[in-house]
Amino acid sequence: PEDNWKANEVGIRRNGDYDDGNASRDWWSGTASAGEDDLIRLDIDIIPASGIEYRLKTTDSQPAVRLRNSKLKGGNPINTTGNGTIIALDKTIYAEYISSGNNHVTFELVAIISATGQEFYSEEITFRPFESVTDAFVGEHSTAGGNNSVSQWVRNQLLDGYDVHVFDDGHDWWQSDDCDEWGEGPALDEIANAINNRGVTQIALVGYSHGGGSVYNLSKRLYYDGQTTMWYGVNRTQEDKINNNKTYTVSFTSYIDAIENYQYTSGDPEIRKPLSSNYHLNQYQTNGLLYVGGSTIGGGIIINVNRTNQLPTLYHMTIIDDYTVLFLLTFEFQSQTIR
């Protein structure tokens, strides 16, 4: 929404990973790559008029953002320095952040009277790199990205300028394992890529039901990255995924009726605080006979909110849809997480 990106600017990933499979970081390459996924789409809409020309430009002589004609890159970037580039028709382009820094880059679309060179109207958009990454987990039998409250919450945070990803809880064993009982899978890979290659320094984790158990498993996997520890009665050595020279914080974690998540779980509530969490929000209910949450235990900042006596009465299947639950989650998440 226009109000959002004008107020918050537009979040963009530093394109320092290796989506093209080469040994050098993506921002050094102009070659098209089918694996490229870090560019941001920008639609330019104009009204052609006699005697009027439109130019796209920036005042930055060496902008940290390149504009390209394809989301997969390839070809020369669009020239935006000096007088910029004439835009004659509506156009879709893609922005790429090409630096490890933290510069905010503003582009301006200017309407100019051709005969006099007078600028009489302009619109600006500013890109700034993400500082955080968030993994959110749906509950059992829900689909990541589907028509459920966790996926919709993720969409809302994206619109508010956060880099948020939604994953399967990993308990539906017939589906793909986004996060297994050891914390391994695409959810971990996304965080490792963000820290190692995209300059991210903050992590947030959110989970409902068995997705809450996935939050704990993933936090433990991050804590013991590259180390050996006992895990559900098994001594495991974790692959070293986070570069040793990288520092980060788990700035925010949240459970909503969290349930322990491993293959032979009996459905017990997940009450262990996620490891290394600086700030943990736990909302739960105990109205049902099966699948109820519980009060999180551990040190540091923990906010336990018992929704058992809330009206209307909440159960495991309805707590995730409740407005007050989602409002508090959003408020605390945005208070503790950098855009």
Per-residue tens of pLDDT for the chain, all 339 residues: 888 888 889 999 999 999 999 999 999 999 999 999 999 999 999 999 999 999 999 999 999 999 999 999 999 999 999 999 999 999 999 999 999 999 999 999 999 999 999 999 999 999 999 999 999 999 988 999 999 999 999 999 999 999 999 999 987 655 668 999 999 999 999 999 999 999 999 999 999 999 999 999 999 999 999 999 999 889 999 999 999 999 999 999 999 999 999 887 778 999 999 999 999 999 999 998 889 999 999 999 999 999 999 999 999 999 999 999 999 999 999 999 998
Both tokens of residue 189?
């890979």
Give the pLDDT of residue 266.
77
**pTM for this entry:** 0.94
Give the pLDDT of residue 170.
83
